[in-house]
């Protein structure tokens, strides 16, 4: 008997029929590379064989390979337009379903130059490729989005935890392209971040607009062991980019605050568990009433992230439920009266990922916004689970349309779950506004941890200087690091570092290291650095996990060497470290599994952030950094 894949590749339909008579479930096999027999049929582009297998064989047409490719991906690879039409029109194979690299069948058609298939897809979608966008819209660590529209401008805030400056404020005119224009807290003394563990700090902010001012509130989460552990920060500004006034901290237990202004002008704050509400002063700086529970939620597990919206005679209460993992979701209830009783939506959850094999998972914690043209959208958080099975990028921000049923209930993406490819909003004006960073500085590109002491960072032309304070990245007092969010699974980071001469402690040469880092928190990071150990200069490669350096290597260099050039190449969880010796790149280490840079990669503390990459100093030296660059590579 011929091998099944040989039969398929020879396109011998009669032989395939005979095979399936003898082995009715014989299609349920895959190659060593993870290609299923069903996918091989589609890749061959033989329409008659594809029809026979689809309509007569025992197969699962939702089957995906190890890379997340669908039958339609393989149909596109075949180049057979009629087969592609059959899969779309008769099998209902989705054009917008991405594989685990974020590539949809339309993207594949574009990359392979399948112009007829591309044109067919665009006709089916009712939009050209330039009129579509991919989720997530804000990549890398952008959790817990809250959004407000003022005129034609949209403003969004995201959680920052112990990263500083606190709570980035982003601006957009089209809901797709966002630019950070400021932060809610830029004064280290106001931030209160010193000594906080990773994952603490500022959670789930909310932005609102009232009588010419922008209000930002967020939970301020402290370390365990004392009281209070949670307070609600409130600050405001007459400009979205700031500067914002000195914050107040309201002592009410709970997380995920949002501010709602009722029709009579009275203002309220909502908090979990469930959705509790209490009145606050108009400036948001005082609590005026006791909390009252409005609704505990439909799922009744980890009910949080409440937001209120008044529309067409109803108060709509949106909630995040199910926890931030695979069961995350958005639910909604409504009432004619602010204080209830609230009726649960019969379509709940209105957003959830039901397919655990899709790229985008853990979708929830959303907030609706109405465009100036009367359309509705939901911003919400999500995770991308790559081929390595870890959400190393952290929680990101996605966007999907809201439609309203005839009886007035909001549905996100027609209850199909989070989209990976979607039509862009059609806005009357998409011209860029005049917003920019309130005072362009180092914080327009970088963030640090636990505040920034005066004099630690300097910008000299294109160079950055970091003055070390003698502490290492594992210390809760550490802050001499500058990082950016990791936004894709595959990327490269490079840069040069030099150390000034004459840096000593007690007239002896002290150990130090300075260079590149891939950083999650004080419990999880790696280093590629120029270092000094016992008076010897060299190249350091190291991984820190939990409470110790689990790997560490040192390549000695000439004693007087005080500069080096580095690069780190990341392919999902694998990271390869290089330094430049002369004109050649020399590999120093290969870290095959850096899952410790993801939230689920280590069970310790509050792990709600995501992987970052940047530059650092350990020890009492000054590092000068030149040419730092992140190069993205989609694989």
Q: Which helix (H) or strand (E) holds 621?
A: none
Is 224 exposed, middle or buried, given 0-12, 13-18 or 19+ CB atoms closer than 10 A? exposed
What Rg value do the Cα atoms of the chain yield, rounded? 27
Residues tagged active-site: 144, 304
Query: Six-digit token pair at 576?
Result: 């390869």
Contact present, 554 and 540 (Cβ < 8 Å): yes
Q: How far apart are CA 92 and CA 383, in angstroms?
A: 26
Give the SS3 label for residue 569.
strand
Q: What is the DSSP string of 403-459?
A: EE-TTS-EEEGGGT---SEEEPP--S-----S---SS-SGGGT-BEES---TTSEEE
Q: Sort strands 584-591 and 421-423 into parallel, antiparallel or unpaired.
A: unpaired
Residue 569: C-alpha distances to residues 100, 140, 494 (Å): 19, 17, 9
| Residues in contact with 338: Cβ distance below 8 Å, sequence separation at least 6, in sequence order | 262, 268, 277, 308, 315
Q: How far apart are CA 266 and CA 286, in angstroms?
A: 13
Give the SS3 label for residue 218.
strand
By C-alpha distance, which of 360, 282, 291, 347 is closest to 316?
Answer: 347
Q: How far apart are CA 399 and CA 366, in angstroms?
A: 9
Contact present, 232 and 217 (Cβ < 8 Å): yes
Q: How far apart are CA 345 and CA 337, in angstroms?
A: 16
């Amino acid at each position: 008997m011929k091998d099944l894949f040989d039969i398929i590749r020879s396109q011998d339909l009669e032989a395939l029929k005979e095979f399936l008579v003898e082995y009715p479930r014989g299609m349920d096999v895959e190659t060593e590379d993870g290609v299923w027999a069903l996918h091989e049929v589609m890749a061959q582009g033989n329409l008659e064989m594809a029809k026979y297998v689809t309509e007569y064989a025992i197969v699962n047409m939702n089957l995906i390979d190890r890379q997340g490719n669908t039958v339609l991906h393989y149909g596109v690879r075949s180049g057979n337009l009629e087969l592609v039409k059959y899969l779309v029109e008769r099998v209902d194979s989705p054009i917008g379903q991405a594989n685990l690299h974020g590539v949809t069948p339309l993207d594949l058609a574009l990359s392979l130059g399948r112009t007829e298939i591309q044109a067919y897809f665009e006709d089916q979608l009712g939009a050209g490729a330039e009129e579509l966008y991919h989720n997530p819209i804000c990549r890398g660590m952008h959790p817990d989005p809250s959004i407000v529209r003022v005129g034609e401008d949209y403003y969004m805030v995201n959680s920052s935890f112990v990263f500083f400056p606190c709570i980035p404020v982003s601006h957009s005119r089209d809901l797709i392209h966002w630019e950070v224009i400021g932060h809610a807290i830029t004064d280290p003394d106001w931030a209160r971040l010193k000594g906080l563990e990773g994952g603490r700090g500022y959670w789930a902010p909310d932005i609102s607009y009232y009588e010419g001012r922008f209000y930002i509130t967020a939970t301020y989460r402290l370390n365990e062991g004392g009281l209070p552990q949670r307070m609600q920060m409130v600050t405001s500004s007459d400009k979205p980019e700031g500067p914002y006034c000195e914050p107040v901290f309201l002592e009410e237990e709970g997380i995920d605050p949002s501010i709602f202004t009722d029709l009579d002008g009275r203002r309220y704050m909502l908090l979990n568990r469930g959705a509790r509400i209490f009145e606050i002063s108009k400036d948001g700086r005082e609590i005026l009433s006791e909390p009252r529970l409005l609704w505990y939620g439909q799922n009744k597990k980890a009910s949080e992230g409440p937001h209120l919206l008044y529309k067409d005679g109803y108060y709509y209460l949106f909630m995040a439920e199910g926890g931030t993992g695979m069961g995350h979701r958005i639910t909604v209830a409504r009432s004619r009266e602010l204080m209830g009783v609230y009726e649960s939506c019969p379509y709940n959850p209105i957003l959830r990922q039901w397919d655990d094999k899709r790229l985008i998972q853990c979708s929830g914690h959303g907030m609706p916004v109405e465009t100036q043209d009367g359309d509705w959208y939901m911003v919400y958080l999500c995770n991308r689970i790559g081929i390595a099975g870890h959400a190393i990028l952290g929680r990101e921000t996605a966007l999907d349309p809201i439609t309203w049923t005839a009886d007035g209930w909001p549905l996100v993406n027609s209850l199909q779950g989070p989209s990976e490819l979607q039509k862009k909003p059609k806005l009357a004006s998409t011209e860029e506004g005049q917003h920019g960073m309130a005072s362009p500085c180092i914080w327009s590109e970088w963030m640090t941890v636990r505040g920034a002491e005066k004099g630690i960072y300097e910008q000299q032309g294109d160079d950055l200087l970091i003055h070390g304070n003698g502490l290492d990245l594992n210390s809760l007092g550490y802050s001499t690091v500058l990082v950016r969010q990791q936004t894709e699974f595959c990327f490269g980071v490079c840069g040069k570092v030099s150390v000034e001469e004459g840096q000593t402690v007690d007239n002896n040469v002290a150990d130090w290291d300075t260079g590149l880092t891939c950083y999650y928190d004080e419990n999880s990071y790696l280093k590629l650095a120029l270092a000094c150990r016992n008076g010897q200069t060299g190249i350091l490669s190291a991984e820190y996990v939990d409470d110790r350096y689990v790997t560490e290597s040192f390549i000695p260099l000439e004693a007087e060497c005080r500069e080096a050039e580095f690069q780190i190449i990341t392919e999902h969880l694998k990271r390869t470290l290089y330094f430049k010796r002369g004109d050649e790149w020399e590999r120093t280490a290969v870290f095959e599994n850096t899952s410790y840079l993801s939230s689920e990669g280590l069970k310790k503390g509050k792990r709600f952030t995501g992987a970052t990459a940047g530059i650092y100093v350990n020890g009492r030296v000054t590092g000068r950094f030149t040419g730092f660059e992140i190069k993205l590579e989609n694989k």
